[in-house]
Amino acid sequence: MMAVRTAVGWTGDAIEIIDQTLLPAEERIIRLSTVDEVVDAIQRLAVRGAPAIGVTGALGVLLAGDDDAEAERIASARPTAVNLRWAVERVLAASDRKAEALAILEEDVAACRAIGSYGRAELPEASKILTVCNTGRLATAGWGTALGVVYAKQEAGEPVEVFACETRPLLQGARLTAWELDDAGIPVTVLPDGAAPALLAGGQIDAVIVGADRIAANGDTANKIGTYALAIAARHHGVPFYVAAPRSTLDPATPHGAVIEIEERDGSEIRSIAGLEESTRVWNPAFDVTPASLITGLITDAGVLRAPFGPAIEGVLS
């Protein structure tokens, strides 16, 4: 697989990211050299994906200097993805903050590789993968989580193609996943979110693999809105449903999905698409929670975890 730029990097005095709000029309690299710029980039989704914002948060602490209040602004920029606060607090607690932040970046690269390897071994015959949102090199410091499995298959010379739900309202599947996979030479088909159950019913999909923003202690998983519906449809049609995420996304402090804080985005994201009046009410959750009972396995950088997920999660974090 060719060397490509990933979502986030460190120059020595600034963070560099691909501004994902401009893709696929323009690939622009922007520098973040202040806490204000880091918070803005995270909140407007210029950088997104739980692992990527975790790495960005870790590096952002270096820009905050000794001002822990500024670091807290970064940690609270988005509430659902556990990686962000986890990374910020880990750097704050370190005696050598720069070394710790850079270690988090390198660990994410390695975690993506491990997830890809474990996922490929778990699904040796799966060549047609359905996914939602974007979980590849635009969402991590490495080659991705769910898409890391796809890249591992490609690197091994195995046939693989991806069916990407467009992921409304911001189209991370259509704009980002399709662009990324096309750039990597992997066949990709974009479909409307509502068409996924029909695709699963037709027997054309070997496995569903999604990412995660937070995995509770019992295995309940918060991920991009629409994931829960995919899991229900996959279960109904007998298609295995996997969640791919690094151990930094596992949250033993959250007992179950009902207590995960779900970020609600501004209604303008939907009103602008449909040309609606400002007075039109909108419910725009960024994420939903898939019950652990619908998940075949958690593909992590420590291996594939299976139900009962509580003891399995506790085991890999101990």
Tell which residue, 309, 109, 115, has the closest CA to residue 221. 309
What pLDDT digit, counting tens, does each position of 144-177 carry?
999 999 999 999 999 999 999 999 999 999 999 9
78 is in an annotated binding site: yes
50 is in an annotated binding site: yes
Q: Could you report the per-residue pLDDT of 241-261, keeping only the tens digit for each?
A: 999 999 999 999 999 999 999
- C-alpha span between 146 and 211 (Å, rounded): 6
Q: Do residues 223 and 287 make contact, with C-beta atoms less than 8 angstroms apart?
A: yes
First and final CA of the chain: distance in angstroms? 34
What percent of the chain stands above pLDDT 70?
Answer: 99
Residue 134 annotated in ligand binding: no
Backbone φ/ψ region at 45: left (φ over 0), alpha (ψ -120 to 50), beta:
left
pLDDT of residue 2: 42
CA torsion 172-177-183-186 (nearest 10°) is -160
Strands 15-18 and 287-290: unpaired
Would you say 226 is a known binding-site residue?
A: no
How far is it, in rounded angstroms, from Cα 209 to Cα 37?
Answer: 32
* 153 is known to lie in a ligand binding site: no
Over the stretch 15-50, which tens digit does the pLDDT of each residue have?
Answer: 999 999 999 999 999 999 999 999 999 999 999 999
Q: Which domains does the chain have, with CATH numbers?
A: 8-108 (1.20.120.420), 124-317 (3.40.50.10470)
Catalytic pick among 19, 183, 193, 213: 213
- Say if CB 233 and CB 267 are below 8 A apart: no
* pLDDT for 4: 63
Residue 13 annotated as catalytic: no
Two structure tokens written together for 200: 């699963």
